[in-house]
């Protein structure tokens, strides 16, 4: 039997890892510069956390969760997103005591049983942020600015923030009523799912991807025109700050997002350049002022977002340069020990990768292997070199080589690799 990875769940291979590591380390540094602290929650939670948190009429809960019973018969689910888990952890550990204004971030895999296609996996990775305990539009602005700057830092230029406001719970209810009134009488044109959504969860009709349903959206009511004065002011302030900061956004009047917990601000960042196809949402989020209370915690407002890492990597395309690699090739026992010492010295002094060949193979074979690793330089040591107290340094691109005094080997490597960025950070 030949095993393969589960459909929609992909291996990330060593050759692709530099891109992932670059994104993850840029993200950590960037988020920490905003005072965000990392949180790691388990990948499995009780099913009811997601049903209550995300909403039992959503596609995620009705169709996409990986749910199973454990040996004790409890219903558990692989997390389809991070917000509900972070809020659960926040409440469980009373984080509001130590962190009254909590800025939390997380990185990791999420699981949704959607139909796999380009940019859509069943196991995918998010970088997420949840800011809990702040109700002002300045918090919404901060996370949208932070997200935009992070995407720029990754190297993305072609993206646009789509923005909307759903209003408070009362506004959402009024909006739902006006939507219900609008779609009543148009049932025939709606897909089967949307027909049941009219009574079950009418906002979700606006997430439907079917063309026949979308064709009706043009005349649907505009939620941001029905906001109560406080929610209207919140939305206006947010737009003013974003404009002042030069963040490119458009108000998308039918953006409702596919999770029930949102109130007021919702947003999505879409990629406008090449490379993503129909799955063009790089990141998305919004405010969820009732979730902490609904899950049994204090009444605290919150706002957050999550970035789809696979989509960012696809949108960026191209390869990422790793730190330069140097090979050590030795012949004979005495030289092997000298090689281990030299490798140790190189790693401790310069910021490079050093690979020592430990197979006791022929010189030719060792050089071929170093080439396949992508070594820029190889240091060769045999009895001859030991006798003369030199090492032979070989430029793998030009194939030129020369003997250098053993004590100048580090300098010679630095010179061959082009010096500057190689200094080891102290």
* 311 near ligand HAM (CB under 6 A): yes
Residue tagged 């060792």 (tokens): 366
Least CB distance to ligand HAM at residue 397 (A): 38
* Stretch of residues binding ligand HAM (CB under 6 A), selected from 116-124, 230-238, 362-370, 403-411: 116-124
The DSSP element (H or E) to which 162 belongs, if any, is strand 159-165
* 186 near ligand HAM (CB under 6 A): no
* 112 near ligand HAM (CB under 6 A): yes
Backbone angles phi, psi at 184, to 5 degrees: -60, 135
Residues 127-166 contacting ligand HAM, CB under 6 A: 128, 130
Tokens of 143: 């996370």
Residues 69-88 contacting ligand HAM, CB under 6 A: 81-83
Provide Rg for the chain, Cα atoms.
Answer: 28
Q: Residue 150: CA atoms inside 13 Å, Cβ hemisphere, count?
A: 31
* 264 near ligand HAM (CB under 6 A): no
* 171 near ligand HAM (CB under 6 A): no
Residue tagged 């003013």 (tokens): 240
- Rounded distance between C-alpha atoms, residue 301 and residue 292, angstroms: 8
State the Cα torsion 116-306-81-49 to the nearest 10°: -160
Least CB distance to ligand HAM at residue 40 (A): 16
The DSSP element (H or E) to which 21 belongs, if any, is helix 17-32
**3-state per-residue secondary structure call for 51-109:** HHHHCCCCHHHHHHCEEEECCCCCEEEECCCCHHHHHHHHHHCCHHHHCCCEEEEEEEE
Residues 267-296 contacting ligand HAM, CB under 6 A: 281-286
* 305 near ligand HAM (CB under 6 A): yes
DSSP 270-289: EE-SSS-TT--EEEEEEE-T
Taking the least distance from each CB to ligand HAM, the nearer of 282 and 370 is 282
Least CB distance to ligand HAM at residue 332 (A): 52
Residue choice 304, 324, 327, 339 for contact with ligand HAM (CB under 6 A): 304
Taking the least distance from each CB to ligand HAM, the nearer of 137 and 339 is 137
Least CB distance to ligand HAM at residue 259 (A): 6
Taking the least distance from each CB to ligand HAM, the nearer of 257 and 394 is 257
* 411 near ligand HAM (CB under 6 A): no
* Stretch of residues binding ligand HAM (CB under 6 A), selected from 118-126, 231-239, 244-252, 401-409: 118-126
What 8-state DSSP symbol labels residue 246? Answer: T
Number of residues that bind ligand HAM (CB under 6 A): 23
Closest CA to 309 of 281, 328, 285: 281
Taking the least distance from each CB to ligand HAM, the nearer of 121 and 290 is 121
Residue choice 53, 308, 324, 327 for contact with ligand HAM (CB under 6 A): 308
* 114 near ligand HAM (CB under 6 A): yes
- Rounded distance between C-alpha atoms, residue 307 and residue 229, angstroms: 31
Chain contacts with ligand HAM (rule: CB under 6 A): 81-83, 112, 114, 120-121, 124, 126, 128, 130, 281-286, 304-306, 308, 310-311
């Amino acid at each position: 039997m030949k095993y393969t990875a589960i459909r929609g769940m992909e291996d990330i291979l060593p050759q692709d890892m530099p891109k992932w590591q670059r994104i993850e380390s840029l993200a950590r540094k960037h988020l920490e510069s905003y005072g965000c602290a990392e949180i790691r929650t388990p990948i499995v939670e009780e099913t009811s956390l997601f049903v209550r948190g995300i909403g039992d009429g959503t596609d995620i809960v009705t169709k996409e969760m990986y749910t199973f019973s454990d040996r004790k018969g409890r219903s558990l689910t692989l997390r389809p997103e991070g917000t509900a888990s972070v809020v659960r952890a926040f409440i469980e550990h009373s984080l509001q005591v130590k962190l009254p204004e909590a800025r939390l971030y997380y990185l990791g895999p999420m699981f949704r049983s959607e139909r796999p296609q380009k940019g859509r996996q069943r196991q995918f990775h998010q970088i997420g942020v949840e800011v809990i305990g702040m109700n002002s539009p300045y918090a919404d602005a901060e996370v949208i600015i932070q997200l935009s700057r992070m995407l720029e830092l990754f190297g993305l230029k072609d993206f646009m923030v789509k923005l909307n406001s759903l209003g408070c719970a009362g506004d959402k209810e009024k909006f739902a009523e006006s939507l219900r009134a609008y779609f009543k009488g148009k049932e025939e044109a709606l897909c089967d799912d949307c027909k049941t959504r009219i009574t079950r969860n009418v906002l979700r009709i606006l997430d439907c991807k079917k063309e026949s349903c979308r064709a009706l959206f043009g005349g649907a009511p505009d939620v941001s025109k029905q906001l109560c004065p406080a929610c209207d002011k919140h939305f206006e302030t947010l737009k003013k700050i974003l404009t002042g900061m030069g963040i490119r956004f458009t108000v998308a009047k039918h953006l409702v997002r596919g999770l029930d917990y949102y109130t007021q601000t919702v947003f999505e960042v879409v990629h406008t350049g090449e490379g993503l196809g129909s799955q063009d949402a790089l990141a998305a989020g919004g405010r969820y002022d009732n979730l902490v209370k609904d899950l049994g915690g204090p009444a605290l407002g919150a706002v957050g977002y999550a970035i789809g890492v696979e989509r960012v990597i696809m949108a960026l395309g191209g390869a990422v340069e790793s730190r330069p690699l140097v090979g050590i090739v030795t012949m004979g026992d005495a030289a092997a020990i000298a090689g281990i010492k030299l490798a140790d010295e190189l790693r401790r002094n310069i910021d490079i990768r050093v690979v020592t060949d430990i197979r006791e193979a022929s010189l030719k074979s060792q050089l071929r292997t170093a080439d396949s690793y992508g070594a820029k330089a190889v240091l060769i040591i045999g009895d001859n070199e030991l006798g003369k107290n030199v090492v032979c340094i070989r430029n793998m691109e030009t194939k030129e080589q020369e003997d250098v005094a053993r004590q100048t080997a580090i300098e010679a490597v630095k010179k061959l690799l082009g010096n500057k960025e190689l200094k080891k950070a102290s």
